[in-house]
Amino acid sequence: MITLRRTVHDASGRPVADYVPGTRAGHPWADDLRPKDGVSPRETADAVLAAMPGWLVGAPEEIGAALLAGGARKHRHAHCFSWDFAARRADPSWAVPELRPGLRLESALSHEAADLTSLWMSAYPPGHPDNPDGEMFDSARTQLALLFDGQVLGPLLACSTVIVDGTRPVAASLVSGRDGEPPLGGPWITEVFRHADPEYAGLGAVALRASLALAADGGLSALGLAVTDGNPARRTYERIGFAHVESTITVVVPE
């Protein structure tokens, strides 16, 4: 898949970086910002700060650090992982996990965003690395709706899974059809979460493994994901077998 990239120029008109354009969290979004050959992180940051006021910008750590030093506000510090199916096999049995009575695995495509809102809010209480100030609650319904509608990274894929207890969703693994090529583009695991009740511990990993098996069976070449710095879920991804690719910092450029 060809990804449309745009270019950032400095004050003299010199191209200093390119990025994938989009919209996120109410901001124009420069995803995967990369400096041109021979351009330093400081030069890149200076050009971005001057040319992109109000933008959300995601870049490798060294660029993000330079943007923060220049006055940008940190939005997210994350670590990117990838599962390359050519290098590591996904166990087909993960698609049909053994679950205790009352639990069952379903396709996320059989659900609507509203079905998962209360689950999402349970999984990300105030103080969680992805919801430090509790602000996520204000936009939970809207953000999930945008995710389901494909307006965040792309359409929800068939390997997305939900585990329900009776009729109540208690865990989910959502995969979007992101533009670009692996390991930092292509199909992307946007959300893995489970209900905070201890009786559901481990079900996020079960839903994730099911997504991996279904993705492999569906012919996908890889799945990527990003986990916020400080989120203990990082250990789960590493234990399951995801490989670390890169760490990034996303910032909001001051107006």
pLDDT in tens, 194-249: 999 999 999 999 999 999 999 999 999 999 999 999 999 999 999 999 999 999 99
Determine the pLDDT at residue 182: 94
151 pLDDT band, cuts 50/70/90, is confident
Q: Is the pLDDT of residue 134 over 80?
A: no
Residue 69 one-letter amino acid = A
3-state secondary structure the chain: CCCCCEEEECCCCCEEEEEEEEEECCEEEEEEEEECCCCCHHHHHHHHHHHCCCCEEEEEHHHHHHHHHCCCEEEEEEEEEEEECCCCCCCHHHHCCCCCCCEEEEEHHHCCHHHHHHHHHHHCCCCECCECCCCHHHHHHHHHHHHHCCCCCCCECCCCEEEEECCEEEEEEEEECCCCCCCCCCCEEEEEEECCCHHHCCHHHHHHHHHHHHHHHCCCCEEEEEEECCCCHHHHHHHHCCEEEEEEEEEECCC
The span from the CA of 201 to the CA of 148, in Å, is 25
Q: What is the pTM of this model?
A: 0.88
Which one has a higher pLDDT value, 75 or 136?
75
* Alpha-helical segments (H) within 14-135: 41-51, 61-69, 113-123
Q: Is the pLDDT of residue 15 over 60?
A: yes
Q: Is the pLDDT of residue 132 over 90?
A: no
Q: What is the mean pLDDT of residues 77-106?
A: 97
80 pLDDT band, cuts 50/70/90, is very high
Angle 203-217/233-240 helices, nearest 10 degrees? 40
Q: What is the mean pLDDT of residues 91-100?
A: 97
Token digits for 223?
Answer: 């799945």
The tally of CA atoms less than 13 A away on the side-chain side of residue 151 is 12
pLDDT in tens, 152-175: 889 999 999 999 999 999 999 999
Determine the pLDDT at residue 28: 94
Q: What is the mean pLDDT of residues 16-35?
A: 90
DSSP 8-state assignment for residue 92: G
The span from the CA of 22 to the CA of 197, in Å, is 36
The span from the CA of 153 to the CA of 23, in Å, is 9
Q: Is the pLDDT of residue 143 over 60?
A: yes
Determine the pLDDT at residue 1: 47
Q: What is the mean pLDDT of residues 61-77?
A: 96
